[in-house]
Amino acid sequence: MRKYETVFILDPALDSSTTDQEIKKVEDLIASREGKVLKVDRWGSRRLAYPIAKKQQGYYTLILFEGEGDLINELERNYRLNESCLRYLTVVSEEKIMAEKPSLQEKDKEDKEDKEEKEKE
């Protein structure tokens, strides 16, 4: 099995429970196709570089997973059918880069800790 990462942007007008359900659907699809979800990184609501479907913002989510090639086709088919999904991208993950690069949340946490240490000095 190969490692993949998929990033998708959901409609920001969805409430938090519906957003959670949409993310859970993607995780369940991966699991149902004998894939394995390794990491779910919710980036949250962010401004889009350009308007998509007259929306200025979107809810970003990254999922790192293992799976077979046919899983990607099914995953992208479901993205296309889902009206809440504004954009998506699925690529083969480069393991070395993912192992070295901390997630956005981990990086923010480290930055806050560094600031606190500097303030104490």
Sketch the domain layout of the chain as residue ranges: 2-120
Question: For residue range 67-94, what is the model confidence (pLDDT) as tens digits?
Answer: 988 999 999 999 999 999 999 999 998 8
Local confidence band at 111 (pLDDT 50, 70, 90 cut-offs): confident
Pick one of 1.10.10.1100, 3.30.70.60, 1.10.8.60, 2.60.120.200 as the CATH number of 2-120. Answer: 3.30.70.60
Local confidence band at 107 (pLDDT 50, 70, 90 cut-offs): low
State the pairing for strand pair 36-52/85-92. Answer: unpaired
DSSP category for residue 14: S
User: Taken in order 48, 107, 105, 69, is the CA torsion positive or negative?
Assistant: positive
C-alpha span between 11 and 52 (Å, rounded):
10
Tokens of 98: 């993912």
* Contact (Cβ atoms closer than 8 angstroms) between residue 29 and residue 73: no
